[in-house]
Amino acid sequence: MTVSEKTATFQIEDLRVSVEGQQILNGVDLTVRPGEIHALMGPNGSGKSTLANTLMGHPKYQVTGGKVLYQGEDLLALPVDERARRGLFLAFQYPVAIPGVSMGNFLRAAVNAGREKPLPAIEFRRNLIKKMQLLEMDQSFATRYLNEGFSGGEKKRAEVLQMAMLRPKMAIMDETDSGLDIDALRIVANGVNALRGPDRGFVVITHYQRLLDYIVPDTVHIMSKGRVIKTGGADLALELEKNGYRDYVADAA
- Estimate to the nearest angstrom the gap between the alpha carbon of 5 and the chain centroid: 23
Across 46-59, b (16+ Cβ under 10 Å) vs e yields bbbbbbbbbbbbee
- Overall average pLDDT of the 18-37 stretch: 94
User: 7: pLDDT confidence band, cut at 50, 70 and 90?
Assistant: low
Domains of the chain in sequence order: 3-96+171-252 (3.40.50.300)
pTM for this prediction: 0.89
- For residue 208, is pLDDT > 90? no
Strand partners, 209: none
User: 2: pLDDT confidence band, cut at 50, 70 and 90?
Assistant: very low
- For residue 3, is pLDDT > 60? no
Mean pLDDT of the residues in the chain: 89
Convert the pLDDT of each residue in 161-184 to its tens digit.
Answer: 999 999 999 999 998 888 788 888
| Percentage above 90 pLDDT, the chain | 63
Is residue 17 within a helix (H) or strand (E), and if so which, with residue range? strand 10-19
Strand pairing class (37-41; 219-224): parallel
Convert the pLDDT of each residue in 130-157 to its tens digit.
Answer: 999 988 888 999 999 999 998 888 888 8
User: 5: pLDDT confidence band, cut at 50, 70 and 90?
Assistant: very low
- Overall average pLDDT of the 95-118 stretch: 91
User: Higher-confidence residue: 247 or 203?
Assistant: 203
Cβ–Cβ under 8 Å, residues 222 and 207:
no
Cβ–Cβ under 8 Å, residues 214 and 33:
no
In this predicted structure, what is the pLDDT of residue 4?
40
User: Distances in Å between the alpha carbon of 38 and those of 46, 99, 102, 105, 203?
Assistant: 17, 34, 32, 32, 5
Report the chain's terminal Cα–Cα distance, integer Å.
39
- Overall average pLDDT of the 45-62 stretch: 94
In this predicted structure, what is the pLDDT of residue 250?
61
